[in-house]
């Protein structure tokens, strides 16, 4: 039966009771963010970032990261990463990153094709770079036959759900800077890292030597939008032009900025990330007790990685959507969000137990 609200706003096309663990992008928009969008919707505001909301966002970012930074709202994470890296590098520059980095595995060649950037990727056991790992590709300066390694990119938290400590980021920053390289941080899940570390956002970014940051919002309850934050503006060049060239300049930017104001003006960013982390911890604690589930990484944010017996993942996916991480190894990824509930976790754990019992008895559900 269609409700009055549905008739007024459009027919709902999905079943909101269906839950999944595939991505923190699957969740809807946090109600406080929706309210902020509605509040920003009345009247007219100057376009292309000359609005009151974008000015307020700059103030809030300075409260979190300190004065002298520059903020550039963009549409998405891939755009934020490409834009950030382009601003750090000359045309002959290259970026050292982990093999599992989003810029290497999940951005469909955008850094190379759109950014014109060579990626020098290094295998890591846990998604985290170290100075020693960076040095596997940080060489060849002055060699005209080799793309010049002039930047390092790290992800916080990593694609494997692990988290850099402030000291680890500082060690990387100091090492990179000593070699004349700059440091970019892909902070798609930056809030989850702060929630895990229990430190301010700047403690493992600006204070630790990061030059430029892709600040994530979509995975933490926003409708859309990320912010490129030049923590060291002297290291980044041409962002105002590159954003337009990369098709990342929003005309109605107030709606991007209003969402981040809702996130950052109070503690919504931390509440949402802390809850998502707590749900992942609940899931990890439960699966640690289940024979047949083999966790593969530390759970330091809102994701759990594990290996399941053959066939179990496909049967589970009939009820709960999630992705394979390493299909050959049987490794899967389970992500929690700001709106994941304890009931969601408990129902999923019960389904895992059921499928493993069925697998042990030679039956399938």
pLDDT single digits (tens) 202-212: 999 999 999 99
Q: Match domain 31-264 to its CATH number in 3.40.50.2030, 3.40.640.10, 3.30.1010.10, 3.40.630.30.
A: 3.40.640.10
Q: Would you state the pLDDT for residue 66?
A: 98
Fold entry, domain 4-27+268-354? 3.90.1150
Q: How far is CA 326 from CA 317, 332, 352, in A?
A: 16, 7, 19
**Nearest one of 247, 258, 94, 99 to 176, comparing CA atoms:** 94
- Burial (CB < 10 A; 0-12, 13-18, 19+), residue 4, is exposed
Is the pLDDT at 5 greater than 90? The verdict is no
CB of 302 within 8 A of CB of 192?
A: yes
Q: Would you state the pLDDT for residue 364?
A: 57
Q: Report pLDDT digits (tens) over 62-99.
A: 999 999 999 999 999 999 999 999 999 999 999 999 99
Q: Would you state the pLDDT for residue 358?
A: 85
Q: Report pLDDT digits (tens) over 130-162.
A: 999 999 999 999 999 999 999 999 999 999 999
The sign of the CA dihedral 5, 7, 12, 18 is: positive
pTM for the whole structure: 0.95
User: What is the residue extent of each domain of the chain?
Assistant: 4-27+268-354, 31-264
Please state whether 155 falls in left (phi above 0), alpha (psi between -120 and 50) or beta: beta
In the predicted model, what is the mean pLDDT of residues 296-300?
A: 97
Q: Under 8 Å CB-to-CB from 358, ≥6 apart: which residues?
A: 315, 364, 365
Percent of the chain with pLDDT over 70: 97
Write down the mean pLDDT value for the chain: 95
Q: How far is CA 30 from CA 77, 190, 220, 253, in A?
A: 19, 17, 8, 19
Is the pLDDT at 7 greater than 80? The verdict is no
Q: 1: pLDDT confidence band, cut at 50, 70 and 90?
A: very low
Cα 219 from Cα 236, distance rounded (Å): 25
């Amino acid at each position: 039966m269609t409700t009055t609200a549905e008739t007024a706003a459009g027919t709902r096309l999905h079943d909101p009771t269906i839950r999944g663990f595939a991505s923190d992008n699957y969740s809807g928009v946090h109600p406080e963010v929706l309210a902020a969008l509605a509040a920003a919707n009345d009247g007219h505001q100057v376009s292309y970032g000359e609005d009151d909301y974008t000015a307020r966002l700059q103030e809030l970012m300075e409260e979190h990261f300190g004065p002298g930074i520059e903020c550039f709202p963009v549409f998405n994470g891939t755009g934020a990463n490409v834009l950030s890296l382009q601003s750090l590098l000359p045309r002959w520059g290259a970026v050292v990153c982990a093999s599992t980095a989003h810029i290497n595995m999940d951005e469909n060649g955008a850094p190379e094709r759109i950014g014109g950037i060579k990626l020098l990727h290094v295998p890591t056991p846990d998604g985290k770079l170290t100075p020693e790992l960076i040095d596997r590709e940080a060489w060849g300066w002055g060699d005209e036959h080799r793309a010049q390694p002039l930047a390092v990119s790290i992800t916080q938290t990593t694609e494997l759900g692990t988290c850099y400590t402030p000291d680890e980021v500082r060690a990387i920053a100091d090492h990179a800077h000593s070699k004349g390289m700059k440091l970019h941080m892909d902070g798609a899940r930056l809030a989850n890292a702060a929630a895990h570390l229990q430190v301010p956002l700047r403690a493992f970014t600006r204070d630790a030597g990061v030059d430029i940051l892709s600040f994530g919002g979509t995975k933490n309850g926003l409708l859309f939008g990320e912010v490129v934050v030049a923590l060291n503006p002297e290291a980044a060049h041409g962002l105002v032009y590159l954003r337009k060239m990369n098709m990342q300049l929003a005309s109605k930017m107030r709606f991007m900025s209003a969402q981040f104001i809702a996130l950052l003006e109070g503690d919504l960013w931390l509440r949402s990330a802390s809850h998502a982390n707590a749900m992942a911890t609940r899931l990890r604690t439960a699966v640690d007790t289940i024979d047949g589930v083999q966790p593969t990484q530390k759970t330091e944010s809102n994701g759990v990685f594990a290996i399941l017996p053959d066939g179990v993942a496909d049967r589970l996916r009939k009820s709960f959507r999630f992705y394979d991480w390493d299909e050959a190894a049987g490794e899967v990824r389970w992500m929690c969000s700001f709106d994941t509930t304890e009931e969601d976790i408990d129902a999923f754990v019960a389904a895992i137990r059921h499928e493993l019992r069925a697998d042990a008895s030679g039956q399938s559900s």
